[in-house]
Amino acid sequence: MKILKIHRYFLALICSIILFSCSNDVYFSGISENSYNEIKENYQKIDYSKEDVLTIIGPPLIRENYESLWIYRTNKEKGIAAFKQTVYNKTLKLKFENNILRSVEEIDLN
């Protein structure tokens, strides 16, 4: 009888874990992936000014080198609140020259 109760608890635990793992929420922090991709794919064709970048992506996390280097962060995680898996974790460096975006560099932190 005692073994039967242990099996029921174990079965309930396994079912709970399976149920929770089926609900996969996505968590974002930092800038929007779509906005960043727009800048990244078009900056060599379009001369984005600092104002354009602010409009599309928003303000940077850090501004350095006399406002010519802007640093952003973006993070995407998937899973339930207790067990999140990082999909990507990046630092983005945008370099400006004469108020025009000239370089976009992506540093992967995974």
Per-residue pLDDT reduced to its tens digit, 86-100: 777 888 899 999 999
For residue 84, the model assigns a pLDDT of: 72
Q: Confirm whether 15 is domain-assigned.
A: no
Q: Confirm whether 45 is domain-assigned.
A: yes
For residue 82, the model assigns a pLDDT of: 65
Q: Residue 100 and residue 78: Cα distance in Å, rounded? A: 35
Q: Tally the domains of the chain.
A: 1
Structural domain of 101 = 24-108
Q: What is the domain-level CATH number for residue 62?
A: 3.30.1450
Q: Residue 24 and residue 1: Cα distance in Å, rounded? A: 37
- Band (pLDDT 50/70/90 cuts) for residue 25 is low
Q: Confirm whether 50 is domain-assigned.
A: yes
- Of 47 and 2, the one with more pLDDT: 47
**Phi and psi (nearest 5°) for 83?**
-125, 80
According to DSSP, the β-strands at 25-30 and 62-64 are unpaired
Q: Confirm whether 19 is domain-assigned.
A: no
- Of 32 and 71, the one with more pLDDT: 71
Checking if the pLDDT of 16 tops 80, the result is no
- Band (pLDDT 50/70/90 cuts) for residue 21 is low
Name the pTM for this structure: 0.66
Q: Confirm whether 54 is domain-assigned.
A: yes
Structure tokens at 92: 């983005």
Q: Confirm whether 42 is domain-assigned.
A: yes
pLDDT in tens, 39-92: 999 999 999 999 999 999 989 988 998 889 999 888 877 776 667 777 778 888
Q: Confirm whether 49 is domain-assigned.
A: yes
Q: Residue 84 and residue 64: Cα distance in Å, rounded? A: 32
Checking if the pLDDT of 19 tops 60, the result is no
Q: Confirm whether 29 is domain-assigned.
A: yes
